Structure 1
């Protein structure tokens, strides 16, 4: 029937136009939709296009290129432990048990004085350490960079990495001394202390020409890219010798990257 043919033709594409229906009415008869499509060339082309689009829509996505392998940081080290938390936990435990034993709520009343004597200063030291504590920054290490670190990273780059991924006490921020000399806080040509960049994370990677690179990612909401670029030579001299500093922007507008590229190679080492 004509209506069946029209229905079959409309299933090929979502919104059939009136001109196509007039063409189908002019053909008439009990021809099947397949016969009508052969008689109307542009309907065949539309049918092929629709099938191609449908197959493209349901085709599985192309697999993305495999990204670099990130090395998980599972090694235990005392540098990754907060001494403030340990001191507060041990001191608080001794104080709690000491008071409980002193008032005979807990056993060991003969040891209560000793536990109170040591528990109180340990708790105070723990709280002080927590107040002055500077937490480590995240470190992303790629497998190829980890292989090159021991042979190609300079001693200063190794020291920088070691300093920023552990707890520190008494410092206002990571790399505080380095940033103070490079940006010259409060001096002529320098920046105000309140505008100082803050280290957010570090990344170990390998450059396109196979060199070890330590990337320092800073957040600096009050600075511009030019403030970093005109101090590129100072970054090179401070973290040198044997490195080249490159400046770039991060993923967010307020993030800036300082790439410290080691000039050492496996051959020279």
Structure 2
């Protein structure tokens, strides 16, 4: 006797699927294909042609002549108690879909316009494309635009990701200090000419190359920011830095400097994240 179960499924409280049953006695063999798609409360009648009876109620009983086979099926559904990645967050996250010119790369725009004008200008000049009377003008403006675009692209500093929780977004307007708002706006837009985000602040706080400071090659790099609300209902801007050459003690010694530089009205806390990540929590003392 060979039993094969194919495409099992769970429907509501009952079972479902297909069972292939092959019964061999001596030189004779019989095969059955059983489709289990009834609810568990329905008991089908025996088939008079085959003498086969099926009872679906957490177990199946097959009878053929004097041979009796009992199969026990355990229906196993997906574990709904296992939290998914979207359900692990206690608070919903707000996506930043607002359009702003600060989120657009001027290097990409300048380089794209310059290359387009140059390409069409050369094509028109050699009569490959129409508009030969405008070729000189397109070439005249295309060269400087392409050069400016390449320069901006080279000096470009990309924005860092910003994770904002819905309750923090509602508190930002009334509870966040002007400096915290400015810090957020500066790091989530394109910047040009700076080596890293918050470069001036980090230079003063960590005192690169000075006595009691750190080497510039060990400077922390801002990876992302996060807006959240503390347990006591205060707005908090979290700066997440990557610092492979520093320890948590290097941030703890400068905790007061973080509060002083980004103040007034700010309380600073530092903590260790995963791997080489460190968090600086700037908590606004303003409440509703």
TM-score by length of 1: 0.76
Determine whether 1:257 maps to 2:271.
no
For residue 60 of structure 1, report the CA deviation from its aligned partner: 3.0
1:121 aligns to what SS in structure 2?
A: helix
Distance of 2:277 and 2:185 partners within structure 1: 22
Aligned to 2:165: 142
- State how 1:146-165 maps to structure 2 within 5 Å: 146-165=169-188
For residue 63 of structure 1, report the CA deviation from its aligned partner: 5.5
Aligned to 2:104: 81
Distance of 2:103 and 2:123 partners within structure 1: 33
Distance of 2:194 and 2:79 partners within structure 1: 53
2:223 aligns to what SS in structure 1?
A: strand
Distance of 2:130 and 2:255 partners within structure 1: 65
Aligned to 1:6: none
- The number of residue pairs the alignment matches comes to 212
- Unaligned segments of structure 2, at least 5 residues: 1-73
What is the aligned counterpart of 2:233 among 183, 189, 210? 210
Alpha-carbon displacement from aligned partner over 1:69-108 (angstroms, at most 9, x marks no partner): 0001111000000000000000000000000000010011
User: Closer, same or farther in 2 for the Cα pair 1:107/1:143, shift >3 Å?
Assistant: same
Determine whether 1:177 maps to 2:200.
yes
Aligned to 1:243: 266
Distance of 1:66 and 1:255 partners within structure 2: 22
Distance of 2:165 and 2:244 partners within structure 1: 28
Greater fraction helix: 1
- State how 1:193-204 maps to structure 2 within 5 Å: 193-204=216-227
Greater fraction strand: 2
- Unaligned segments of structure 1, at least 5 residues: 1-53
Determine whether 1:60 maps to 2:79.
yes
Q: CA RMSD in A?
A: 1.6
Aligned to 1:132: 155
Aligned to 2:132: 109
Distance of 2:79 and 2:205 partners within structure 1: 51
Distance of 2:209 and 2:260 partners within structure 1: 21
Distance of 1:59 and 1:145 partners within structure 2: 34
Alpha-carbon displacement from aligned partner over 1:131-182 (angstroms, at most 9, x marks no partner): 0000000000000000000000000000000000000000000000000000
